[in-house]
């Protein structure tokens, strides 16, 4: 039985990566993540969360894009790798995510308590 952290690492390795439009962060916004993923991210104040949410932004989005890229949540990694979350700018990996892995990730989302990042 894998721990949630091990499951997250398992999924991270199986989500294909691809090159985004330089400087783009069009798909960033309010996202949710499991508490294990939250524990990998720096803590933001309630005020920082409020400001981000009021702008429909993510509190980890900075001037130069995502400030937590190496530890960004699964939902951020999934974006653009499946037709269900297609990039509005047409960027994608050569090979999209295996639908069976995508389904398992959605099951993981349902099975874990997801909180606003």
Site string for ligand SF4, 19-48 (x = CB under 6 A): -xx--xxxxx--x-----------------
Q: Which helix (H) or strand (E) holds 115?
A: strand 114-116
Q: Label each residue of 29-92 as H, E or C.
A: CCCEEEHHHHCCCCCCCHHHHHHHHHCCCCCCEECCEECCHHHCCHHHHHCCCCHHHCCCCCCC
Q: Which of 4, 61, 93, 108 binds ligand SF4 (CB under 6 A)?
A: 61
Burial class (CB in 10 A: 0-12, 13-18, 19+), 52: buried
By rule CB under 6 A, what count of residues binds ligand SF4? 23
Of 66 and 96, which has the nearer Cβ to ligand SF4? Answer: 66
Return the range that interacts with ligand SF4 (CB under 6 A); candidates 8-16, 42-50, 65-73, 106-114: 65-73
Judged by the rule CB under 6 A, the positions of this chain that interact with ligand SF4 are 20-21, 24-28, 31, 58, 60-61, 66, 68, 72-73, 76, 79-80, 87-89, 91, 117
């Amino acid at each position: 039985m894998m721990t949630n952290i091990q499951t997250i690492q398992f999924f991270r390795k199986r989500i294909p990566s691809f090159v985004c439009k330089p400087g783009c962060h069009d798909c960033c916004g309010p996202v949710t993540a499991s508490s294990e993923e939250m524990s990998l991210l720096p803590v933001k104040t309630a005020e920082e969360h409020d400001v981000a949410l009021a702008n429909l932004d993510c509190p980890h989005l900075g001037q130069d894009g995502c400030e937590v890229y190496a530890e960004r949540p699964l939902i951020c990694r999934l974006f653009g790798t499946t037709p269900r979350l297609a990039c509005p700018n047409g960027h994608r990996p050569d090979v999209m995510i295996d639908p069976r892995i995508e389904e398992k990730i959605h099951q993981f989302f349902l099975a874990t308590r997801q909180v606003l990042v």
